[in-house]
């Protein structure tokens, strides 16, 4: 009996780890929330790069670290069955071209990890170059996979 209870708990725990969502709308909200946090931090960095906000290498580095960590969150919300329907700006091409979308997401994750490392080193010019690369790839994904 004890073995059955342990196995049952492990099965339930595995299911809970697999997906925190009960409905597609929850998966959509989750990924949108992650993207909102990414956009807030990315926007602050963009303002510093453009000069509309005073450059602060320490703050920029912090923002880059945050975005680097957040880039891994949205994918889970795209993988949930039915999350392609509902209130979303996600294009159907995400699911019909999952490999292309996944490759762009991976590139974004790599770009942001690079930006976080470069920003941590403290070289403003190198940081701005790394940001430009990340922004270029970020925009590319939006063009292909997001309704405006």
CA distance 42 to 50: 12
How many CB atoms within 10 Å of residue 78? 21
Nearest Cα to Cα of residue 66 among 29, 46, 31, 38 = 38
Residue 9 annotated in ligand binding? no
Q: Which residues of 91-129 are buried (b: 16+ CB within 10 A; e: fewer)?
A: beebeeeeeebeebbebbbebbbebbebbbeeeeeebbe
Tokens of residue 128, six digits:
């701005």
- Tokens 């403003």 locate to 124
Residue 138 annotated in ligand binding? yes
Which residues are part of a known binding site? 138, 141-142
Which residues are part of a known binding site for heme c? 138, 141-142
């Amino acid at each position: 009996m004890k073995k059955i209870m342990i196995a049952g708990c492990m099965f339930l725990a595995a299911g809970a780890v697999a997906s925190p969502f009960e409905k597609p709308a929850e998966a959509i909200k989750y990924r949108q929330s992650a993207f909102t946090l990414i956009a807030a931090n990315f926007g602050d960095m963009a303002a510093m790069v453009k000069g509309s906000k005073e450059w602060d290498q320490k703050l920029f580095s912090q923002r880059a670290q945050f975005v680097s960590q957040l880039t891994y969150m949205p994918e889970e919300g795209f993988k949930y069955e039915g999350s392609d329907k509902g209130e979303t700006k996600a294009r159907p091409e995400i699911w019909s071209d999952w490999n292309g979308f996944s490759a762009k997401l991976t590139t974004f994750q790599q770009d942001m990890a690079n930006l976080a490392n470069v920003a941590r080193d403290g070289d403003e010019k190198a940081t701005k170059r790394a940001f430009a690369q990340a922004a270029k790839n970020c925009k590319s994904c939006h063009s292909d996979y997001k309704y405006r």
